[in-house]
Amino acid sequence: MKHYFQKLSSIDFLQIVKYYIVGAFINVGGYVAFLVLLREQMEPKLAASLLYVIGALISFWLNRKLVFDSSVHIRTSLLRLVFMLLAGYVLNILMLYIFVDLYKAAAWLIQIFSVILVSVFFYLVNKFYVHESDNL
């Protein structure tokens, strides 16, 4: 348990700021693209899926270089990224299914909440799994 508290104490405020600047850039662009695709009558889950892959690849590269200054071997971090993305994807699609399909909430509103929840999850997984090296 002590190991987890040591890891949490390694959270750096400047790193969080950089992470969220990169994330804001990716998510604002992705959300605008999501709205455009909805306007063009694309099904919300398909639009979210397409934009998820594009945003994830851009975000991975920017976070690796600008935020975490990762020295983890690229194949290792990409494999870890796939697991993280699958978990985040399931969370996003599940939120759309439950709140849009079952409860008839507006897709645009649910996607905002999903972006926030998934971004916190992704910061923690990026820091402690995808880009974690032995020297943390």
Helices (H), the chain: 2-9, 13-39, 44-62, 74-96, 107-125
Q: Is residue 7 part of a domain?
A: no
Per-residue pLDDT tens over the stretch 57-116: 899 999 999 999 899 999 999 999 999 989 998 999 999 999 999 999 999 999 999 988
- Our count of domains for the chain comes to 1
pLDDT digits (tens, 9 = 90+) for 43-63: 999 999 999 889 988 999 999
- What is the rounded CA–CA span in Å between residue 74 and residue 2? 29
DSSP state, residue 85: H
The answer to whether residue 73 is domain-embedded is: yes
Q: What residues make up the domain containing 47?
A: 13-130
Residue 5 domain flag? no
- Could you tell me if residue 6 is inside a domain? no
Token readout for 80 is: 């870890």
Residue 1 has pLDDT above 90, yes or no: no
